[in-house]
Amino acid sequence: MPGRVVLAMSGGVDSSAAAVLLRRQGYEVVGLFMRTGVEDHGSSHADRKKGCCSAVDAGDARRVADRLDIPFHALDFEAEFGRVIDYFAAEYARGRTPNPCVVCNTWLKFGQLWAFGRQLGADHIATGHYARIVNGSELHKGLDPDKDQSYVLHGIRREVLPHLLFPVGGYTKPEIRVIAREAGLLGVADKPDSVEICFVPGGDHTAVVRQRRPEVATAGIIREKDGTILGEHDGIDRFTVGQRKGLGVAAGRKRFVLELLPERNEVVVGDAEDLLAGGLVASGVNWLMDEPAGPLPCSAKIRYRHAGVPATVTALLGGGAVVRFAEPQPAVTPGQAVAFYAGSRVLGGGWIERAAE
């Protein structure tokens, strides 16, 4: 027998199909649902696009476990998940654009999940992410380019990689839905994908941010690079670098957010070409290989839907790195993650502190 595996079950089709695939491979599967305290904001699968961590999802996950006859646990992670939401609000208050999925995966799913797995004597932990483990300890992209989630997994501790399984990573999304249907999991086979941050209903993050950091709801100015004042705003948390729509000013031509200055409560705007940067400085870099001794050629991905571009990354003392792009890139956004690739392999990643020339 391959051994025991603890599978994070979200109630969605991906983790449900992962359970089917693991059973086929002979694993002893234990299902785990992480209760985060996130409330439902819809009454059915059809009108909810979150598909993650709510009470409805917990019920779906339990029904899948019952159907597949695997043990199932629902554990309370509300306090731990509160740290993720605190981080989210704090980043916006600093004039940065957070990526809570990276933080949730690093802190919660692959931190707490592995801790729980060890308590149960598990050999592995698994999730429904579209990624792959190759050669026993290398993190690679999922085979479906439209669903690849390796970018949000770069923060996983290197020592956990040999214990990870990503059963759906070698399939396309349509194939995964077929696997779920053939296994009789009709309740989740056609469940909508999660397309929103699970604790931000409707996609409006300002209510969440201002509940935890009310000081951000402070009026300030929107200005050009040269200091020309274009208007006012009611809080810098409404803006992100690269934003064009919803600026609330009329400048006579397209304006883009270039910079957020929280210490002065200012939003600086300019032309699209002003967004171009030759590189970036990152902090909190997590290497999934031996830290390079010199400049390392790679492909750098600076946001989830970014295709990745040729670059070199140089490690710095203290866990930072400098990235130089082969061609300037637009909207290098502080607070977002940067991930480094060699082909399909994830070499590591960190947090964007600032753009660089």
Q: With contact defined as beta carbons under 8 Å apart, do 123 and 3 qualify?
A: yes
Name every residue whose Cβ is closer than 8 Å to that of residue 190 and which is 6 or more positions away in sequence: 13, 45, 177
Q: With contact defined as beta carbons under 8 Å apart, do 280 and 347 qualify?
A: no
Three-state secondary structure readout of 298-330: EEEECCCCCCCEEEEEEEECCCEEEEEEEEEEC
Name every residue whose Cβ is closer than 8 Å to that of residue 263 and which is 6 or more positions away in sequence: none
Q: Which has the closest alpha carbon to 165: 128, 123, 126?
A: 126
Active site (annotated) includes residue 104: yes
Q: What tokens does 333 get?
A: 């956004």
Q: Which residue has the tokens 């295709």?
A: 307
Dist. CA 331–CA 323, nearest whole Å:
15
Measured between alpha carbons, how far is residue 154 from residues 174, 266, 342 in Å? 25, 32, 13
The single residue of 52, 101, 198, 298 carrying the catalytic annotation is 198
Residues forming beta bridges with residue 286, ordered by sequence position: 349
Q: What tokens does 235 get?
A: 């809080």
Q: Are strands 164-165 and 124-126 parallel, antiparallel or unpaired?
A: parallel
What type of residue is 13?
A: V
The single residue of 53, 101, 104, 298 carrying the catalytic annotation is 104
Active site (annotated) includes residue 198: yes
Dihedral, 341, 346, 350, 353 alpha carbons, nearest 10: 20
Q: Which residues carry out catalysis? A: 104, 198
